[in-house]
Amino acid sequence: MEKTTKKYPTICICQLVIALAMLLPLPLKAGREADAQSILMRSLGLLQHPNGSSFDYQMKLTRFFTQSGSLILKGKKTYGKSKKNTMWSDGTTTWKLSPDESEVVVYRTADLKRKPLGELLDEVRHNCKYNLEQSQEGTYLVHVRSLDKKSDIREATVLIDARSFVPKQFRMKVGLVWVLVDIQNFRTGNYPDSFFQYQPKEHPRTKIVDRR
């Protein structure tokens, strides 16, 4: 008498691996991108604090060009002081005061080739892809790539303190140039909107050159 054996469908191990590979990466990648975006938005929320924040910076455009100074941000608004000039920007108008305070030049912020930092940072909040990369212990490294070809910031990496979420360094590709910004002495404050506008009464002898 011959024994009958039941036939079971044969499933190749390779097929199982491929099936699992197709299922697993998508949620992991999506979660990682969501984590990166969440971390970056929290950090930018501190930097562009609704009451304002201040910090010292050192900026490098190339090996041969560096600039250091202090910045105060409040949303898109920016106040900056360096050896080169003093700058106010309320998000619409930008004023640049010469070192000797002999003249202040007024611009429409939208017309500037190099926008104030508050304006630039606002661009990485929208229409970008985010990725959380490996970094040193105690920090997050978030990579940002713009999906908007007209964006001033094409690509950026942001080094963020893992405990405080305070940004420590920005590396941004503005046009064809990479700009490195190191941040120190970060603190939040309480700055009125008028702080980000040039006050002629405080500079009565300064010539105003309006290029709007």
Give the whole-angstrom CA distance, residue 69 versus residue 93.
Answer: 21
| 83-92, 95-104, 132-141: range with lowest mean pLDDT | 132-141
Instruction: Residue 185: count other Cβ atoms within 10 Å of its Cβ.
Output: 9
Higher pLDDT, 61 or 5: 61
Question: Average pLDDT in the 88-106 region?
Answer: 95
54-81 residue pLDDT tens: 999 998 887 778 889 999 999 999 999 9
Q: Which pLDDT belongs to residue 112?
A: 87
Q: Which pLDDT belongs to residue 40?
A: 94
Q: Which pLDDT belongs to residue 31?
A: 52
Give the list of residues 6+ apart from residue 15 with CB closer than 8 angstroms, or none: none
Instruction: Please state, for a pLDDT cut of 90, what percent of the chain lies above it.
Output: 58
**Nearest to 172, CA basis, from 188, 159, 185:** 159
- Structure-token pair, residue 15: 């097929």
Give the whole-angstrom CA distance, residue 196 versus residue 144.
Answer: 28
Give the whole-angstrom CA distance, residue 126 versus residue 146.
Answer: 8
Where are the extended beta strands (E) located within the chain? 53-62, 65-74, 77-82, 86-89, 93-97, 103-108, 128-133, 139-146, 153-161, 167-174, 177-188, 207-210
Give the whole-angstrom CA distance, residue 29 versus residue 133.
Answer: 12
9-61 residue pLDDT tens: 444 444 433 333 333 333 334 457 788 999 999 999 999 999 999 999 998 88
Instruction: Please state, for a pLDDT cut of 70, what percent of the chain lies above it.
Output: 85
158-167 residue pLDDT tens: 999 999 999 9
Q: Is 189 helix (H, G, I), strand (E, B) or coil?
A: coil
Q: Could you tell me the pLDDT band of residue 154, with boundaries at 50, 70 and 90?
A: confident
Residue ranges of domains in the chain, CATH in brackets: 13-210 (2.50.20.10)
Give the whole-angstrom CA distance, residue 44 versus residue 131.
Answer: 16
Higher pLDDT, 155 or 136: 155
